[in-house]
Amino acid sequence: MKDFCYKNTRRQISYFILFFLTLGSIYTIFFPNVLVAEMDFENILLPISWDHWMGTDSLGRELLPRVFYGAGVTLSLGVLSSFTSLIMGSIFAVLVTELRPSLRRVALRGLDLFLSIPQFIFMVLISVNVFILFEKYKTIIPVDRSWISYFSLWAGISFTHWATAARWIQGFIQEEWSKNYVNSAFSIGAGRFRIFHKHIYPNIKKRCFLLWLTLLPSCILYEGVMSFLGFGINPPQISLGILINDGWRSLSEYPHLLLFPSLILFLFVWSINGLINRK
Amino acid sequence: MFKRLGRVFIIGGTTVIILLLFLNFLLKALPGGDLEWPSSVQNQIAKDFFSRSSFQFILDMLIGNFGFSISYPDHHVLNLITEALGSTLKLALPALILVFILAFVFSFFGAIYRNSWIEKWVDEIFILFLSLPVLFLAPLLIYIFSIRFNLLPLAFLNSFQSYILPIGVLVVRPLARFGTLLKEKLIWESEQPYIMVAQSKGLTPLQILFSHQLKGTLTLWVRGVGMVMLSLFSGSFLVENIFSISGLGQLFVNAISERDYPVVAALVYFLGSSFIFLNLILESLQEFIDPRFFSKERT
């Protein structure tokens, strides 16, 4: 945690940006009535000005609250899926460490090879599959379409990121088990579970938190990519990817529709990366 | 040599078969067989594709019998993939070389001028590059260079100029990832005792770098081929869609949206198996270069 407190200009800027973006997106998520701001057909597709900080879209709505709402959806999905993948990865890592060495080598080799394939293909296949399954059993589980797309994207991203988390956490656990104090604990009669619970877990806890922060930018970016390509969040719901996809069609005439959502996406990723970087 | 190759084939073959079983499970869960297609030919192709047993499916995939595409019923899936692979490689191979050159230049300056403002700025540039998403960089560059100033073409791969934007967008993130590793490795090598011996013999820092330190980073370059290729192919799914390049990425995304399952299955098998074998071969190459890297304690 000491790493977070250095006097560093980049880290201070990152804190500042992250604080304001998170605050804005949480505000628009919890008070979404700023979104329904009246459609104003007199003022469609205006560029940036003092009255319209990010301009207006094709229905005359303000872009600013829409972008922040989309950022909130993206951020929540990123936080949720990276957290799930961290949990899944740590369960896998703990179980793998308990295997006998030959089996463990096979499992880790499989994990490595799984990680060497472009993860995007699995992400698309899983989220499309989950989406279709929910559509099929719509009568049994009546869920709104936008929630189905949210859930399927969550499943897709978590399913592909747990392997990265598992690989790292397995390394942490392995490193702790091979230290000398573990041998001393064994010699005074502590069991495996007790050593894990009392010594290993407190020692890797902070590193796991940092790992969660390193998974977060990747999850946020994948949300943008999937929604942009049309496999993610479904259009009536807003997310950064959807907004970028909307703006993409009119890039030459109205660049503000595209550049502001993608700028927010970039700022999120840059500030998280800048925060966790040690340098 | 033969032992290594045999191990690559056994491990790779087993993993590919597990991949195919998983793929088979995913495709069986999709309701593709029930869909109604516009023409009877397409219906026949879909029926043939989904009515196979799992064993038959895996066997067909392994011998390369991918069948016909549903959305283009007059094309073999294999032909579609080989055509698309050409344009993807036309982007990926120059990008790979560019990543290696730029990563070397950046990390070279970062490692030579250690603990100075140059190293600090190299770090900042790597952090910036690592967090530049394609979704931000590509529209920005297209807007500036193609729309505002009309310097570069904004889509397709027709001329030499049209390669600049897609490759420039693709290179950024792998460059940051590989460059950080290379810089750390160079600095780690410069702290080893043999560097001190070389210094005491009177070699200049540049001589030490080119004749000793770079040799120590050789395994990293071999590992970098796999890492950068993975990053470039993952990036190509988005970049090819943005720049309308008919490569593997666009083929995959179009096939998923049009429910063209023969193409999807063939692409997953092709990409998966080629990356698995690429990584295994690179791994045994690393073991050949530096045997202490893969001692028994690994994993």
Q: How far apart are CA A249 and CA A236, in angstroms?
A: 17
Distance (Å, whole) CA B285 – CA B299: 18
Q: Do A262 and B280 touch (CB under 8 A)?
A: no
Of B268, B241, B293, B282, nearest in space to B61 by CA:
B268
Residue of chain B with shortest Cα separation from A268 = B131
Residue B299 has pLDDT above 50, yes or no: no
DSSP state of A60: S
The ipTM, to two decimals, is 0.89
* Closest partner CB to B271 (pick from A121, A230, A255): A121
Tens-digit pLDDT profile for residues B136-176: 999 999 999 988 888 888 878 888 888 999 999 999 999 99
Answer with the residue of higher pLDDT: B253 or A235: B253
- Judge whether A99 is closer than 8 Å to chain B, CB to CB: no
Structure tokens given for A54:
């990010």
Is it the case that residue B38 has pLDDT exceeding 80? no
Within 8 A of B256 by CB-CB distance, chain A residues are 124-125, 128, 231
Among residues A181, A111, A50, A56, which one has the least CA distance to residue B18? Answer: A111
C-alpha span between A188 and A197 (Å, rounded): 16
Which residues does B190 contact at the CB level (< 8 Å), separation at least 6?
B111, B114, B208, B213
Q: How many residues does chain A have?
A: 279
Q: Which residues make beta-bridge pairs with A56? A: A62
| Partners of residue B255 in chain A, C-beta under 8 Å | none
pLDDT at B269 over 90: yes
- Please check whether residue A218 touches B, CB under 8 A: no
Tell me the pLDDT tens digit for each residue of B170-223: 999 999 999 999 999 998 888 889 888 988 998 888 888 888 888 888 989 999
pLDDT in 10s for each residue of chain A, 279 residues: 555 555 688 888 899 999 999 999 998 888 877 665 566 777 777 777 777 777 777 777 778 888 999 999 999 999 999 999 999 999 999 999 989 888 998 899 889 999 999 999 999 999 988 888 888 888 888 888 888 899 999 999 999 999 999 999 999 999 999 889 999 999 998 888 999 999 899 999 999 999 999 999 999 999 999 999 988 888 778 889 999 998 888 888 888 888 899 999 999 999 999 888 876
pLDDT score for B101: 95
When CB atoms are compared, the residue of B18, B131, B140 closest to A217 is B131
| Per-residue pLDDT, B71 | 84
Residue pair B167/B255 in contact by the 8 Å Cβ criterion: no
Per-residue model confidence (pLDDT) at position A173: 92
Return the pLDDT at A135. Answer: 83
**Chain B contact for A131, CB < 8 A?**
no
Kindly report the average pLDDT of chain B as a whole number: 88
Q: How far apart are CA B111 and CA B191, in angstroms?
A: 11
What value does the mean pLDDT take over residues B70-78? 87
CB contact under 8 A, A265 and B241: no
* Interface touch B276/A117, C-beta < 8 Å: yes
The DSSP secondary-structure symbol of A160 reads H
Where does the pLDDT of residue B32 fall: very low under 50, low under 70, confident under 90, or very high at 90 and above? low
Q: Are A156 and A130 in contact (CB under 8 A)?
A: yes
A100 touches chain B (CB under 8 A): no
CA pair distance B138, B131, nearest whole angstrom: 13
